[in-house]
Amino acid sequence: MAATAAKTKKEKKPFNLVKWAKSRQGQQLIIGVAFMIIPLLLLFTFTYLPFGEMIKFSFYKMKYSTPVDKRVFVGLKNYIDVFRRDDCFSALKLSLYYVVGALIQLVIALYLATILSFKVKGGNFFKGLMFFPFLINGIAVGFIFKFFYTRGYVFDTVLQWCGFNIDNLPYWLKDQSVNNWSLVATSVWRYFGQNMVLFIGAIMSVDADLYEAAELDGANKWEQFKHIILPSIKTIVTLNVILSITGSLSAFEQPYVITSGANGTGTYFVIMNEIAHTSQKVGLASAMAVVLLLIIFACTILQKLFFKYIFRDAESMDESYAAKRARMKAEKARMKEEKRRIKAQKKGAAV
Amino acid sequence: MSSQAVTSNKKRRKNYSAGHIIWLIVEYASLIFFGICAVLPIVSCVITAFKTNEEYANTNVMTLPQSWLNFDNFIKAFQTADMGRAFLNSLLVMVIVLFVSVIVGTQMAFVLNRFQFPGNALIRNLFLFASLLPGVAMQVTVYQIMTNLHLVNSLYGYIIMSCGTDVISIYIFIQFMENIPLSLDESAIIDGASYWTIFWKIMLPLLKPAIVTSCILKGVGVYNEYYAANLYLQKKELHTIAISLYTFVGPMGSQYNLICAGVIISLLPALIVFICCQKQIYSGITSGAVKG
């Protein structure tokens, strides 16, 4: 079709150009190009161009200011350094703290979401309180927690109210045995409300009849959670678990703002930022970025595979689900019937 | 006779309440506990922000201030960090970025969703791939490009970059458009409408909910973004609100009554917007995440 359009255009050029522009193909082409040029240009300039440069730079020893001809090609040395240098590799291990934190955060969020999905007095108020930290910018969060954890300040005071002696309390941001946990806690504080809102959204999309039916069947809250809520939000929970792993690898804001990576709190990105912008070892920083990207891609591919498997699983779940629902409905009807019968009997007896 | 049924019903409910009450207590206890955890850091900041220097030095941080009307810290913080200017900068960045990303994003989504052409899938995948790249890692080389384009230390450079690094909203738009029937376009074409008209007169109005969603997600992101802002907006008069707080690092590093006042000022707009459009924000967060 497009070919014929082009042909006719060639044959009677001056007359048909306008007509062509008004034809469907012509319009599609013009609109398509006009609508796509800006986003594609932006995508190229700020994503793919830097991406290509990053791969190229990772093979060079260079600074930002080094002119192109002075850059030294070093082959794979930067990559080897990423794994050899203590600061880079131990930083990668730090992300395990954040993985644990993220999992705790998911559990808290799921628990609170379950509570808030049912009718609770002041539910909206609590939801708002817990969600609000998500809307605070990273630097403000940093200041709030620097203040919060300072010796003898908020956290210590509250613990003293609970009966702790201040002499037994560690320095939350300096003591290497706790400072990473302190930072992880700020990240949990910031994001658990957002996760909770996500889960509430997912739980709300479950048919409310199901809960009613389950309650009539005498299921308690835990059983309801296990058999109704969890299966129906399995997808979003799994997705969040995987996202939290990639997110943990790129943990950056809390250590960057609160401790600037001092005292063994420098996560991978904090170190990378320092290497790139303070020591100006752009090659090494690029290699670090590429290594991280590879890890993230591996996680993403795993996620895709996992979901393929889960999806099949979920579908079969859905079937049994529908069956369960039908059964519950039938049971509900039966119970009503029975009640009516009992009532009628009682009536009869009274008469 | 029917009263009998009522009492038996009541009895049943009472039995069932025993476990229920324990559950209720656990429920509210955990809500209150986590609620306190969520607000305690902020509340302590508010308390400190109202204290005078002497009070701050001599009392415990959790002691309430003598006067809740002592706004000196707020005024001083506002002036020291030049927050008026910072608010204007943030507003400018937000308005332009939101406007551009809505127009550009919906147009892109329109083309990708409505037109079949070779390379359609490729472009979609390019955007998808881009969303996997973590921002901080990319800044290592984006910085080089920004320097070459002379966009460092320019508010417009930062704005252009912020528009360019947004890819998620395109997916929200595409997803939403898939639910707008094609027959709508077809009938409009039969009526003689061009694609241009279809986009502006039919698509854009129908996309309103998706636009609200993406504006909320993007708006929160832009308002709070500080890493790139810190990298590219070094001059003080270019500071956005997120990085204006950096003024307090260094010389005033331990004057927390002032810092807390600054922090509170910076989160007031977020609080106001949150209170006004709670519903939209929740639904925006939820539908933004469903795309997977």
**Domains plus CATH for chain B?**
2-72 (no CATH), 81-248 (1.10.3720.10)
| Residues B121, A326: Cα–Cα separation, whole Å | 41
Q: Considering CB atoms only, which of B37, B62, B248 is closest to A189?
A: B37
| Residues B101, B96: Cα–Cα separation, whole Å | 8
Would you state the pLDDT for residue A104? 93
| Residues A76, A74: Cα–Cα separation, whole Å | 6
| Residues A112, A129: Cα–Cα separation, whole Å | 12
- Per-residue pLDDT, averaged over A294-312, amounts to 78
Would you state the pLDDT for residue A3? 47
The closest alpha carbon to A259, from A145, A157, A154, belongs to: A145
Q: Environment class of residue A284 by beta-carbon count within 10 Å: exposed (0-12), middle (13-18) or buried (19+)?
A: buried
First-to-last C-alpha distance (Å) of chain B: 57
Q: Is the pLDDT of residue A348 over 70?
A: no
Q: Is the pLDDT of residue A314 over 60?
A: no
Would you state the pLDDT for residue A295? 87
The beta-carbon contacts of A17-22 under 8 Å, at least 24 apart in sequence, are A22/B194
User: pLDDT class for A346, splitting at 50, 70, 90?
Assistant: low
- Per-residue pLDDT, averaged over A317-337, amounts to 61
| Residues A283, A60: Cα–Cα separation, whole Å | 5
- Report the residue of chain A nearest B133, measured CA to CA: A293
Angle between helices B83-114 and B155-164 (to 10 degrees): 30
- CB contact (8 A) between residue B164 and residue A46: yes
User: Quick check: B123 and A36 in contact, CB under 8 A?
Assistant: yes
Q: Is the pLDDT of residue A2 over 50?
A: no
Would you state the pLDDT for residue A105? 93
The closest alpha carbon to B206, from B246, B236, B237, B179, belongs to: B179
The DSSP bridge partners found for residue A73 are: A60
- Chain A residues within 8 A of B105 when measuring between CB atoms: 39
- Chain A residues within 8 A of B37 when measuring between CB atoms: 189
- Chain B residues within 8 A of A134 when measuring between CB atoms: 220
Q: Which of residues 100-159 of B touch A (CB under 8 A)?
A: 104-105, 107-108, 110-111, 115, 117, 123, 126-127, 130, 132-134, 136-145, 147
- CB contact (8 A) between residue A54 and residue B138: yes
User: Which domains does chain A show, CATH number per domain?
Assistant: 14-43 (no CATH), 77-137+176-343 (1.10.3720.10)
- CB contact (8 A) between residue A289 and residue B140: yes
A189/B contact by beta carbon, under 8 A: yes
| Residues B71, B74: Cα–Cα separation, whole Å | 5
Residues 6+ apart with CB under 8 A from A70: A62
User: Quick check: B112 and B128 in contact, CB under 8 A?
Assistant: no
A285/B contact by beta carbon, under 8 A: yes
Angle between helices B256-276 and B72-80 (to 10 degrees): 90
Would you state the pLDDT for residue A331? 66
Determine the distance in angstroms separating the CA of A69 from the nearest CA of chain B, rounded to an integer: 16
User: pLDDT class for A8, splitting at 50, 70, 90?
Assistant: very low
Residues 6+ apart with CB under 8 A from A218: none
Mean pLDDT for each consecutive 10-residue tract of chain B (292 residues)? Answer: 45 60 88 93 92 85 84 90 91 93 90 89 86 82 89 91 78 85 88 88 90 86 87 88 83 80 91 89 75 40
Kindly write down the DSSP assignment for every residue of A211-251, as one continuous string.
Answer: HHHHHHTT--HHHHIIIIIHHHTHHHHHHHHHHHHHHHHT-
Q: Is the pLDDT of residue A194 over 60?
A: yes
The two three-digit tokens of residue B125, written as one number: 């995948």
Percent of chain A with pLDDT over 70: 84
- CB contact (8 A) between residue B196 and residue A27: yes
The angle at the Cα of B135, spanning B125 to A293, to the nearest 5 degrees, equals 65
Neighbours of B231 (CB within 10 A): 20
Neighbours of B116 (CB within 10 A): 6
Determine the distance in angstroms separating the CA of A176 from the nearest CA of chain B, rounded to an integer: 22
Mutation site, A25, A78, A134, A137, interface B, largest B CB count within 10 A: A137
- Per-residue pLDDT, averaged over A91-113, amounts to 90
A133/B contact by beta carbon, under 8 A: yes
The two three-digit tokens of residue A280, written as one number: 């100006």
- Chain B residues within 8 A of A153 when measuring between CB atoms: 44, 61
- Chain B residues within 8 A of A128 when measuring between CB atoms: 274, 278
Q: Considering CB atoms only, which of A35, A48, A139 is closest to B110?
A: A35
The two three-digit tokens of residue B31, written as one number: 């809500």
b/e map B8-43, b = 16+ CB within 10 Å:
eeeeeeeeeeeeeeeeeeebbeebeebbebbebbbe
Would you state the pLDDT for residue A82? 86
Q: Considering CB atoms only, which of A28, A108, A250 is closest to B134?
A: A250
Determine the distance in angstroms separating the CA of A322 from the nearest CA of chain B, rounded to an integer: 22
A145/B contact by beta carbon, under 8 A: yes
Would you state the pLDDT for residue B3? 45
Question: What SS3 string covers chain B?
Answer: CHHHHHHHHHHHHHHHHHHHHHHHHHHHHHHHHHHHHHHHHHHHHHHHHCCCHHHHHHCCCCCCCCCCCCCHHHHHHHHHCCHHHHHHHHHHHHHHHHHHHHHHHHHHHHHHHHCCCCCHHHHHHHHHHHHHCCHHHHHHHHHHHHHHCCCCCCHHHHHHHHHHCCCHHHHHHHHHHCCCCHHHHHHHHHCCCCHHHHHHHHHHHHCHHHHHHHHHHHHHHHHHCCHHHHHHCCCHHHCCHHHHHHHHCCCCCCCHHHHHHHHHHHHHHHHHHHHHCHHHHHHHHHHHHHCC
Q: Which of residues 38-67 of B touch A (CB under 8 A)?
A: 38-42, 44-45, 48, 60-62
- Per-residue pLDDT, averaged over A149-168, amounts to 86
| Residues B243, A139: Cα–Cα separation, whole Å | 7
Kindly write down the DSSP assignment for every residue of A20-87, as one continuous string.
Answer: HHHSHHHHHHHHHHHHHHHHHHHHIIIIIHHHHHHHHHTTEE--TTS-GGGPEE-TTHHHHHHHHSHH
A51/B contact by beta carbon, under 8 A: yes
User: Quick check: A200 and A117 in contact, CB under 8 A?
Assistant: yes
The closest alpha carbon to A230, from A322, A126, A314, belongs to: A314
Mean per-residue pLDDT over chain A, rounded:
81
Quick: pLDDT tens for A222-252.
888 888 888 878 778 877 887 777 788 888 8
Would you state the pLDDT for residue B15? 52
Distances (CA, A) of A135 to B199, B219, B271: 33, 10, 8
- Report the residue of chain A nearest B137, measured CA to CA: A289
The closest alpha carbon to A158, from B43, B274, B171, belongs to: B43
The beta-carbon contacts of A83-92 under 8 Å, at least 24 apart in sequence, are A87/A266, A87/A271, A88/A268, A88/A271, A88/A288, A90/A264, A91/A266, A91/A267, A91/A268, A91/A270, A91/A271, A92/A249, A92/A268
Residues 6+ apart with CB under 8 A from A44: none
Would you state the pLDDT for residue B2? 44
- Chain A residues within 8 A of B61 when measuring between CB atoms: 147, 152-154, 157
Quick: pLDDT tens for B235-252.
888 999 888 888 887 766
Would you state the pLDDT for residue B271? 92
Determine the distance in angstroms separating the CA of B28 from the nearest CA of chain A, rounded to an integer: 8
- Per-residue pLDDT, averaged over A117-146, amounts to 89
B170/A contact by beta carbon, under 8 A: yes
Determine the distance in angstroms separating the CA of A22 from the nearest CA of chain B, rounded to an integer: 8
